[in-house]
Amino acid sequence: MAKPPIIQVTGLVKRYPLPEDKSRDFAAVDGVSFDIHEGEIYGILGPNGAGKTTTLEMLEGLIDIDGGSALVDGIDVANEPYHVKKIIGVQLQASEYFDKLSLLELLDLFGALYRCEIDALELLAKVDLTEKAKARPASLSGGQKQRFSIACALVNVPKILFLDEPTTGLDPQAKRRLWELVLGLNASGMTIVLTTHNMEEAEFLCGRIAIMDHGKIVAEDTPEQLIREHAPEPPAAPLHGNIEDVFLALTGHALRD
């Protein structure tokens, strides 16, 4: 008998008041449904305001779910958000740390918060930051900060890792190093869910991609199948299209990092 998906999302909805009229609201996420299989790298791609981050925040138990349901490893997120947090790791778009603590001390602190014993040096080695063990977060480069935020997300040995635009603003070398880290974590069996603005990133890392626009999923499939269906022959290129061509065909938006 096949195992159920590790994440099952059905009709997920999140509403917010309209800025110009607080008596009315709009759906930032509007009836989204998808399944994610254990051991998969699943990407959510979309323009600013599409609902990507809001979707992740509902799955992580960080914000309330207004409609529909989300099961994470069989746990109902709406009813047991704290239970969900025990089995997931979350890397946010921006992170703030205690500036007077070193990376080692911060990881030990996070381990204490989770009430679990950790090997902080081993975690730093996993994200290639051993030489920065005694450094403070403010001294890290952009790529190093992103890798450290992933180390923090790994403290509780999560089954599922959520990455929200993990390479935004990174130079090409730092971006590639982070991709290698993500692939290594996935090879160890970890399920990874990421949002991204980077077309090459989505095509390189993800086994399947959901494209969101205006709070809805407008397409979902493997990168190869999306290209075959939506961008087989882009007008401006002699070869077959890519995920950026798919995205433009489906949403009409151009993305900028």
pLDDT in tens, 114-144: 888 899 999 999 999 999 999 998 899 988 9
The string of pLDDT tens digits covering residues 66-110 is 999 999 999 999 999 999 999 999 987 666 677 789 999 999 998
Contact present, 111 and 157 (Cβ < 8 Å)? no
- The DSSP symbol for 19 reads T
pLDDT reading at 257 higher than 50: no
pLDDT above 70 covers a percentage of the chain that reads: 91
pLDDT in the model for residue 236: 57
The string of pLDDT tens digits covering residues 39-53 is 999 999 998 889 999
Write down the H helix ranges in the chain. Answer: 52-59, 81-85, 103-113, 120-126, 142-153, 172-187, 199-205, 223-230, 243-251
Contact present, 145 and 82 (Cβ < 8 Å)? no
pLDDT in the model for residue 251: 79
Closest CA to 49 of 217, 212, 230: 212
| Check whether domain 39-62+81-251 has CATH 3.90.1170.50, yes or no | no
Which residues make Cβ contacts (< 8 Å) with residue 249, sequence separation at least 6?
230, 231
pLDDT in the model for residue 174: 86
Q: Where are the domains of the chain?
A: 39-62+81-251
pLDDT reading at 219 higher than 90: yes
18 phi and psi, to 5 degrees? -70, 135
Q: Give the integer Cα–Cα distance in Å for 110 and 20.
A: 40
pLDDT in the model for residue 12: 98
Mean pLDDT to the nearest integer, 152-177:
90
Model pTM?
A: 0.86
pLDDT reading at 175 higher than 60: yes
